[in-house]
Chains A and B, each alone.
Chain A
Amino acid sequence: MKRVIFGRLPAAVCGLLLVLAATVSAQDTVPAGDNDSARAEFRSIDKDVQSLKEEVLALNRDLFLLEEELLFPANSQVAFFLSLDVGEYFELDSVSLKIDGKEVANYLYTPREADALVRGGVQRLHMENLKAGDHELVAVFTGKGPHDRDYRRGATVNLNKGLGAKYVELAITDAMAKQQPEFDIREWE
């Protein structure tokens, strides 16, 4: 290995350049000056990474859509979304979904996911292929209700599936007047 520690001693004060090259901000120290080529190299790699990200994102978009269209063709597709409005009276732990008596989804929420729902995120809980006609949907929600009480509630609805994709919303809302959560299954119009 070829490595030079320091060429000569007197007055070389090898730390000097480092010290003077440093300017500070509140966050960090940024060395400057003699590392221009390193910066240029970093920049060039960074640009390559950026364009690679762009390509992979585009590929993901295409594959995501392809997968969806292959597995859930538009004429039979039903997508189930879960939303939580405010969430003051209910802390969601889990939800299970049955279609025509058969359980198709059973989801346990992490605190991070529950928080994302409280902040307005909508979860795509499940995708299904359903034939045209009537179907019975049952959702069971568990979690903590007012006064930290364990809460388990169900909601049932009959869904008429026609032609074309359908979006169904499993909605948890705060009923302000009753100071209770409400659970509902409805078509997303």
Chain B
Amino acid sequence: MPTRRAISPAPWIVTACALLATAAPAADRGPAPTVIEDPHYGEVLFHFYQEDYFPAIVRLLAAKSRDRLPHHDGEAELLLGGLYLSYGHHLRAAEIFERLLAGSADPDVRNRTWFFLARIWQQRGYGDEAQRALANIEGELPGSMEAERRMLLAQLLIERGEHARAIALLEDWRDRTEWGSYAAFNLGVALVREGRMDAAADILDDVGRMEPYNEELYALRDKANLALGYAWLQRGAARDARAPLQRVRLDGPFSNKALLGAGWADAEREDYGRALVPWMELRNRNLLDPAVQEAMLAVPYAMAKLDSISQAADHYLDAIEAFHEEDRRIDRAIDDLESGKLLSTFLANNAGSTTGWHWRLEELPDTTESRYLYHLLASNEFQEGLKNYRDLDYLARNLENWRGSIDVFRNMLDTRMRAYENRLPESRVEP
């Protein structure tokens, strides 16, 4: 019997580690020690712990195919599921979990697994799969994960246009934490989309007047005010729109849209002089923002309404000049993007030895086209797409490396084949 006492995590925590790399609470219990009996299992863990998921999976698949894990068979399968999930190979991971977790496994592990699968699927646009995964969760999840689960479900329902179901889910939310504020905001949005403006207004107004204690909640408050303001504008209630729009912070990420909307709230009431105040402020801001672009035209529009025709003409000319310049820059950026150079820069600046689902691009490279990509960078779709691109780049390099070895292998096989063929007549002669 081996005397070593190397410590490996119990299978459930292995999965949890893989799943919870971004959400800590469940991993707090600490690993339970198990003796590593098969060295190849320990080797897989060596790569797994370094977050080198690809080599870990390859070694695990190789060891399984040669029956090198006789003592760790069950946990190896679960580890493989966790590795696939960490690597972003979520469809295969789900197959394994569906098979392994169906019956006997710890319900806690099962629930967490389904939850994280749902989260990956939602982010990757697999709405049906995400909803199915959430439906597999039995009972409540621990801690804030339960709030996140319900929020995820509400989000999926809103995405599918099932507003009434989302409303029913969110209306029951009894939570005084940050999640309660997010739930209220989402409820407001769902009610607007259902056309229940009065109910939506009450809720969004509440969120829009809350006292935030962190930046995230400030942003949420701004967003609620913006949503409410624009919802009123869309319904022709320009007078009601102004107050929430004015509550949006002037230096926050939503200030441009708020200034634009505030101007329109005045313009709708034909108070063009007042509309010019936010719009003039806006036109001096970054032209990349569509709200600023619109202000470039809204300013002369208001001036024309005020009969300042010559000033309006000047501003229109300025706008035309600015748009032309921007147009040229965009053409250059498109050329650069189409050449593929930009994506290579992304990966070069964010090089990692291997790939994983938890990777995110944090910084944009300093190139001319980067200025157009800040908004993209913030979006899930772009980040998920970039992860796929990064994975493909890794696979390409991996295959390229092997290509160099293939000829060597072929030569070795040929040499051996010849050596055997030479010996064959001798062995046939021997009695």
Contact = CB atoms under 8 A, between A and B. Distances in A.
B306 interface: no
B348 interface: no
A120 B151 contact: no
A23 B385 contact: no
A1 B58 contact: no
Given A66-B409, A70-B412, A119-B45, A49 B50 contact: no
B388 interface: yes
Given A13-B230, A112-B50, A122-B45, A25 B381 contact: no
Interface string A1-35: 10101100111011110011011111011111101
Contacts of A171: 4
Query: Taking each of A19, A32, A124, which has the highest tally of chain B beta carbons within 10 Å of its own beta carbon?
Result: A19
B347 interface: no
A42 B230 contact: no
Interface string A161-189: 00000010101010000000000001011
B19 interface: no
A52 to B, nearest CB: 7
Contacts of B388: 45-46, 49
B298 interface: yes
A25 B46 contact: no
B395 interface: yes
Interface string A61-75: 101111110100000
B182 interface: yes
B43 A121 contact: yes
B264 A11 contact: yes
A19 B230 contact: yes
A32 B166 CA distance: 14
A123 interface: yes
Contacts of B381: 35, 38-39, 42
A130 interface: no
A56 B405 CA distance: 15
| Chain B interface helix/strand/loop/mixed | helix
B124 A188 contact: no
A23 to B, nearest CB: 5
Nearest to B51: A112
Q: Is the interface of A mostly helix, strand, loop or mixed?
A: mixed
A119 B13 CA distance: 12
Contact of A60 (B36, B58, B151): B58
Interface in A79-122: 79, 81, 83-86, 112-113, 115-117, 119-122
B199 to A, nearest CB: 15
A132 interface: no
Which among A30, A84, A113, A169 has the greatest number of chain B C-beta atoms within 10 A? Answer: A30
A20 B189 contact: yes
A117 B46 contact: yes
A14 B298 CA distance: 12
Contacts of B260: 13, 15
A161 B127 CA distance: 57
Given A56-B398, A120-B6, A120-B9, A14 B50 contact: no
Given A16-B234, A83-B6, A188-B39, 13 more contacts: A19-B227, A20-B231, A22-B189, A25-B151, A26-B151, A54-B89, A60-B398, A61-B62, A61-B65, A63-B409, A83-B42, A85-B7, A123-B46
11 contacts: A5-B290, A9-B298, A11-B264, A42-B381, A54-B89, A61-B58, A70-B412, A83-B39, A85-B4, A119-B9, A122-B45
Interface of B: 1-9, 31, 36, 39, 41-43, 45-50, 54, 57-59, 61-62, 65-66, 87, 89-92, 122-127, 148, 151-152, 154-155, 158-159, 161, 178-179, 182, 185-186, 189-190, 192-193, 216, 220, 223, 226-227, 230-231, 233-234, 257, 260-261, 264, 267-268, 290-291, 293-294, 297-298, 301, 323, 327, 330-331, 334, 378-381, 384-385, 388, 391-392, 395, 398-399, 402, 405, 409, 412-413
